Amino acid sequence: MAAQAAAAAQAAAAQAAQAEAAESWYLALLGFAEHFRTSSPPKIRLCVHCLQAVFPFKPPQRIEARTHLQLGSVLYHHTKNSEQARSHLEKAIPQFEDVKFEAASLLSELYCQENSVDAAKPLLRKAIQISQQTPYWHCRLLFQLAQLHTLEKDLVSACDLLGVGAEYARVVGSEYTRALFLLSKGMLLLMERKLQEVHPLLTLCGQIVENWQGNPIQKESLRVFFLVLQVTHYLDAGQVKSVKPCLKQLQQCIQTISTLHDDEILPSNPADLFHWLPKEHMCVLVYLVTVMHSMQAGYLEKAQKYTDKALMQLEKLKMLDCSPILSSFQVILLEHIIMCRLVTGHKATALQEISQVCQLCQQSPRLFSNHAAQLHTLLGLYCVSVNCMDNAEAQFTTALRLTNHQELWAFIVTNLASVYIREGNRHQELYSLLERINPDHSFPVSSHCLRAAAFYVRGLFSFFQGRYNEAKRFLRETLKMSNAEDLNRLTACSLVLLGHIFYVLGNHRESNNMVVPAMQLASKIPDMSVQLWSSALLRGMQLSLLDQASHVSLVQGSVTAAASCTDLNKACGNAIDAHEAAQMHQNFSQQLLQDHIEACSLPEHNLITWTDGPPPVQFQAQNGPNTSLASLL
């Protein structure tokens, strides 16, 4: 017995020594592989060699499966050898639970990258079915499949999956992740414009967020997510004034997060091992929605200030982080700052920034697909600003063909109508457009701002038709709606046009009462074109400005009608003011003229002819401006 015991002890000791030796070589190879992967620059070839060296030792199945996963991950993330990456991941999937779900997640990403979405979906569905006893992976795979459906524009399926995830999170006792699922579903419902479903869902989310007691950063990030949805909902509805309390709360919330330190303690519930966005990304997002608000409200200097801050932070983040969401943030910020440039009379800079958006879209087909309509819309606005009306029409028509977003569609149609008004010979097309955006009857979108803009276009058209009483009715409706939500640019445009109407009707004093506040408001924005036409009206220029009334696009808030043969200051006995207005008008004219010449001379000006396919890579230099400058003088 003693001999048997001794032999057994020796055998156990030998097995332990063998296991220890096996663990030693495995850990050594793993350590070398990680060292090479994290070197600067990374030495991926050596990392792969170290991991491949594990297999000749014929390791236990669990180590073999984990090594296949690690090799697949390294090859997927750091090389273009997708075939080998796929092979290793497929070998890891049939193995142990802690390996198969991660392998399925990575493999589905690889399939999507190769445009094999039909292969990714069943893989994720199967993994979801067998992962219900593993809360972290079950939730993660649900999020991943929902995101895949979202990218395919199948928002109904995505919402269904997020609803399943929210219920599962509730069952496993994770109110935090339940809130993440519900907020994600709310975001998609907002995209679908299912407002009747959004309101009760956001109310429930607000209650969950307030009642949840947990990691302070996680709690504040939920609050940021919730407030971002509220703010964007208001902005989509064009309610610039109503959104201010929510926007203020959001800005305070992000300040609170920036003062909190990351807690290294992991949550006790594995279903809570998620976060919405890194703190740095949330800061950029809050800058972005602040820019969106400032742009709609007409606080353009504020919009430019926050855009500069956000772009500076983005550049720092992109040095260390290649997340696609950062490029999306950058494009949206540029889209807004481009509109600011066009309003403030910096067309050349706007054109160069449009070119920058093109370059970003060239790097990502998905980014181009999501922003092609907006890019053509921006080019249309630029074309209007430099008097290329045929090109503007082509750009807006292309944008309409590429979008199915209702608000963007209404925005484009409104601007296209202003182009037809300016051209003066497109009556059939114009009447058709005006009927589709009739603010008095079944306006196609719920946006307060766009409906006010539609009233303005109606007023502008009536003005050109000489139906002044009808024009006044439409413009007063625009003013009423603009004042209700602090839409400063529409207010300024409406006041200028009303001022001209009163002049035509012989009421010089009332005309002056309209134009002076319009000038002051335009100076505050600042809107260069409104200032130009206001100063012309005040100066008393003996010009016919009817052709210039729709010179600038609605997005700029500058589709203004100036006066013909006006002499308001002289009529009101203000000769000194008339002289000052004349000087202002000359200054504004010179600034706009110089900017016009510079913009049309840039090689990027050729972008106005691009209406099909991906953005052009190169631009040929212009010989000089080829557009009419008459309306700027």
For 13-66, give the DSSP string: HHHHHHHHHHHHHHHHHHHHHHHHHTSSS--HHHHHHHHHTTGGG---HHHHHH
pLDDT band of residue 623 (cuts 50, 70, 90) is very low
Return the minimum-mean-pLDDT range out of 143-157, 206-220, 250-264, 615-629.
Answer: 615-629
630 compared with 44, residue with greater pLDDT: 44
DSSP 603: G
Query: Domain residues of the chain, as ranges?
Result: 26-116, 132-260+269-276
Of the pLDDT bands very low, low, confident and very high (cuts 50, 70, 90), residue 283 is: very high
**Domain covering 132-260+269-276, topology:** 1.25.40
pLDDT tens digit sequence for 555-578: 443 333 333 333 455 455 454 455
Rounded to an integer, what distance in angstroms lies between the CA atom of residue 338 and that of residue 328?
A: 15
- Residues whose CB falls within 8 Å of the CB of residue 608, separated by 6 or more in sequence, listed in order: 379, 382, 383, 388, 391, 395
**Residue range 595-605: mean pLDDT, rounded:** 89
Does pLDDT of 332 surpass 90?
Answer: yes
Under 8 Å between Cβ of 568 and 516: no
> What tens digit of pLDDT does each residue of 389-435 get?
999 999 999 999 999 888 899 999 999 999 999 888 888 889 898 88
Which tokens hold the place of 511? 């005309």
CA distances in angstroms from 584 to 27, 250, 304, 533, 536, listed in the order given: 76, 40, 24, 10, 9
pLDDT of amino acid 2 = 42
Residues in Cβ contact with 572 at an 8 Å cutoff, skipping those fewer than 6 apart: 508, 509, 512
Same CATH topology for 26-116 and 132-260+269-276: the answer is yes
Q: How many CB atoms lie under 10 A from the CB of residue 218?
A: 20
- Phi, psi for residue 386 in degrees, rounded to 5: -110, 15
Q: Is the bond into 60 cis (omega within 30 degrees of 0)?
A: no
Could you say which of 1.20.1740.10, 3.30.360.10, 1.10.10.410, 1.25.40.10 is the CATH number of the domain covering 26-116?
Answer: 1.25.40.10
Instruction: Check residue 632 and give its pLDDT.
Output: 37
- Beta-carbon neighbour count of residue 320 at 10 Å? 8
Mean pLDDT of 313-338: 90
Residues in the chain: 633
Q: What b/e sequence results for 186-206 when a residue is b if at least 16 CB atoms lie within 10 Å of its CB, and e otherwise? A: bbbbbbeebeeebeebbeebb
Single out the residue of 339, 403, 343 nearest to residue 372, CA to CA. Answer: 403
Q: Write the single-letter amino acid at 191.
A: M
Contacts of 475 (CB under 8 A, 6+ apart): 455, 456, 459, 494, 497, 498, 501
Q: CA 548, CA 561: separation in Å to the nearest integer?
A: 7
- Per the confidence metrics, is the pTM higher than 0.85? no
How far apart are the C-alpha atoms of 440 and 55, rounded to whole Å?
Answer: 74
Structure confidence by residue, pLDDT tens digits, 132-169: 999 999 999 999 999 999 988 899 999 999 999 999 99
Taking the C-alpha atoms of residue 398 and residue 82, their distance in angstroms, rounded to an integer, is 36
Over 80: is that where the pLDDT of 529 sits?
Answer: no
When pLDDT is averaged across residues 217-225 and rounded to a whole number, the result is 92
- Residue 247 sits at φ, ψ, to 5 deg, of -65, -40
Instruction: Classify 364 in phi/psi space as left (phi over 0), alpha (psi -120 to 50) or beta.
Output: beta
Residue 585: pLDDT over 80:
no
